[in-house]
Amino acid sequence: MSATRSRPKSGMAETESDPESYALLDSGGGRVLEKLGTLVSSRASHAAWWRRKLPGGEWRKAVDLKRDVKEPMKLRIGSVRFILSPQGGVRGLAPELEEEWERVSAACVTFAEQQRRPARVLNLFGGAGGFTLAAAQAGAAVAHVDASADAIKRARDHAAINTLANRDIRWVVDDPVKFAQRERTQTTRYDLIVIDPHTPKDAKRGFEIERDLGALLGTVSGLLSDKPIGVIVCCRQGVVSPTTLQHLMRQEFSVFGGRVESGEILLTGEAGVPEVPFGTLARWLKMV
């Protein structure tokens, strides 16, 4: 089993010196305490029901984003910069996936060195764009698909503040499942495919992991190039066992060789801060 986690920071001095950086400061009592640039804020986390490390005075420094922050602010999570909306909060930016973004970026660099061409990445349910921007930073060509036009606009804004607006990113407003089905009839194939399912609030029919994920994995198996990096699945909504994801991935991709890893998605902060589970993931990796 393997978990992904946001990398522990080397110390508060480093993060305090960066007015845009993100850090997990503490967790427990059903909440997480986070540094959001120059602010400290807390949000609910149902999995964090252990005792807190920091005293109550530190937690009382937290501001209410919706009440106290009037304008959007820039926030850097790892190497990726975002625009944090007070109304949207940090949850949609997915800081718990920071290390997974780093893995994708590194894999795309290695692929380009070995294959002498940029990696082609398909990001289904692209959301705020963390995976897309990490891949683009590594020189990959990315297709970013999301059913929400508003989400696509936000992701494009994030690309702009990362100076990636002119990179090879195809922004697609479409149902990710239907897009993948249609894409199989086309000639484009992808070296790396990322699936991070979520359902927009205005969606008529939501994506249900138990009902829809198996079929989607079968669809994307036909979208892989002849020299693939792999497929990554993140499940941050609902409760799915890493073992279940591992079996599903093996079922669809073992015919291609490679290996399957699975584990928890963990948000990790300063040394000594209890890491917080935010879902499960699985990776099928062909290029090793």
Asked if 143 contacts 194 with a C-beta cutoff of 8 angstroms, the reply is no
- The reported pLDDT for the residue numbered 199 is 62
Question: For residues 160 and 146, what is the distance between their CA atoms, to the nearest angstrom?
Answer: 18
Full DSSP string of 226-280? SS--EEEEEE-SS---HHHHHHHHHHHHGGG--EEEEEEEEE--STTPPPEEEEE
Q: Which amino acid appears at position 212 of this protein? A: D
Retrieve residue 184's tokens.
């199989």
Retrieve residue 171's tokens.
């922004």
Question: For residues 148 and 252, what is the distance between their CA atoms, to the nearest angstrom?
Answer: 28
Q: What is the CB neighbour count within 10 angstroms for residue 116? A: 7
Asked if 30 contacts 46 with a C-beta cutoff of 8 angstroms, the reply is yes
Retrieve residue 18's tokens.
């960066």
- The reported pLDDT for the residue numbered 4 is 55
Retrieve residue 28's tokens.
């427990």
- Under 8 Å CB-to-CB from 31, ≥6 apart: which residues? 42, 43, 44, 45, 48, 59
pTM (two decimals):
0.92
Asked if 251 contacts 2 with a C-beta cutoff of 8 angstroms, the reply is no
Asked if 230 contacts 283 with a C-beta cutoff of 8 angstroms, the reply is yes
- The reported pLDDT for the residue numbered 3 is 55
Instruction: List, for residues 57-107, the tens digit of each pLDDT value.
Output: 999 999 999 899 989 999 999 999 999 998 888 999 999 999 999 999 999
Per-residue pLDDT tens listing for the chain (288 residues): 455 554 444 444 445 567 899 999 999 999 999 999 999 999 999 999 999 999 999 999 999 998 999 899 999 999 999 999 988 889 999 999 999 999 999 999 999 999 999 999 999 999 999 999 999 999 999 999 999 999 999 999 999 999 999 999 999 999 999 999 999 999 999 999 999 997 655 556 688 899 999 999 999 999 999 999 999 999 998 789 999 999 999 999 999 999 999 999 999 997 889 999 999 999 999 975
